[in-house]
Amino acid sequence: MTRWLDEDEQRAWRALLSAIEALQTGVDAQLQAEAGMPHTYYELLVRLSEAPDRSRRMSALADAAGSSRSRLSHAVGQLERRGWIRRETCPTDRRGQIAVLTDDGYAALEQAAPGHVEQVRRLVFDRLTAVQVQQLRRIGEAVAATPG
Amino acid sequence: MTRWLDEDEQRAWRALLSAIEALQTGVDAQLQAEAGMPHTYYELLVRLSEAPDRSRRMSALADAAGSSRSRLSHAVGQLERRGWIRRETCPTDRRGQIAVLTDDGYAALEQAAPGHVEQVRRLVFDRLTAVQVQQLRRIGEAVAATPG
DNA sequence: GCCATGAAGTTGAGAGTTCAACCACTTCGG
DNA sequence: CCGAAGTGGTTGAACTCTCAACTTCATGGC
């Protein structure tokens, strides 16, 4: 006995899917073109830049960026090759790795940020009222909340 | 002179990113596990199933599903190999191709749909009030609207 | 009619993600 | 202490997506 989506839910769901598609394409294309990295990589740099000593344990970084461990490993490998991140072994747990944002990485982030924010504004905030921004936050938080 | 995001925008943006991440992972994992296809493929089957004769020109299908031409070509190739879609050449435009949902494809969709809807409900609608669903629709439509 | 231009689709290579193993190390029960 | 189970992280293969050519066919101006 499947409870199908009613008319309103259907519309909302499809609108959401279209919005997500537009967002991802727009954000990724901009970052790829102007900064040579996908949005997921940008997010990693952001999270690292906000952390104490610009560094974080791999798994903490994965959680903060909403990434799987595997994805993070591959991504950090790539970013390490570019010299934007450096790996250090954790002193208290020899299994652990610590990802550190390098100066070059920080510079890359600083250089990429304005264009990215501009694009986010164009794609999202220029299209919404202040009230809708509040609504969006509530909705986003509800959907993002872990208990699935 | 970059106009950075203010506190509220920042929160809303991050909540949205987390929500999108949770959604994509949840939806894709469910469909992959129970139906052996990613969400983008599922969308293609849905759009075809709704079209007259269960068929559509490639480019119309791409637009309807919010996909690039290239992505669609690859995807239809894959789905054709599974016998879920068939290609026909367009009678009025010899460049054109028409994607047709096969009976097997329709069956696959019918089999996949309940679990998918269930998951969408769990991830989205069970977490929102009716009012929020309306809000979400408005916001989604605003963000999805083409004029970038 | 012809040619330039543009639209419809496809293709292959490169990049990122997932999934399932896997190794190294830590923790916990006995 | 010792072994079992669990945690942290990596790896390679399979898969999907993007981007930039490229082919084929339609169209509009001359």
For A30-42, the pLDDT digits (tens) are 999 999 999 999 9
pLDDT at A148: 47
Q: Give per-residue pLDDT as tens, A86-114.
A: 999 999 999 999 999 999 999 999 999 99
pLDDT of B107 higher than 90: yes
Which is more confident, A9 or B147?
A9
Q: Taking the C1' atom of C25, which residue's CA lies nearest? A: A95
Q: Give per-residue pLDDT as tens, A30-83.
A: 999 999 999 999 999 999 999 999 999 999 999 999 999 999 999 999 999 999
pLDDT at B146: 80
pLDDT at A147: 65
Rounded-to-integer distance, Cα B18 and Cα A123, Å: 17
pLDDT of B147 higher than 70: no
Average pLDDT, chain B: 97
Alpha-carbon distance values, A60 to A45, B17, B22, B26, B39 (Å): 14, 17, 17, 21, 28
pLDDT at B148: 47
Candidate from B13, B142, B148 with C-beta closest to A122: B148
B27, B39 in Cβ contact below 8 A?
Answer: yes
CATH of domain B28-112: 1.10.10.10
CATH fold for the domain made of A24-144: Arc Repressor Mutant, subunit A (1.10.10)
Residues of B in contact with A110 (CB under 8 A): none
Contact B118 A8 (CB under 8 A): no
Rounded-to-integer distance, Cα B97 and Cα B93, Å: 9
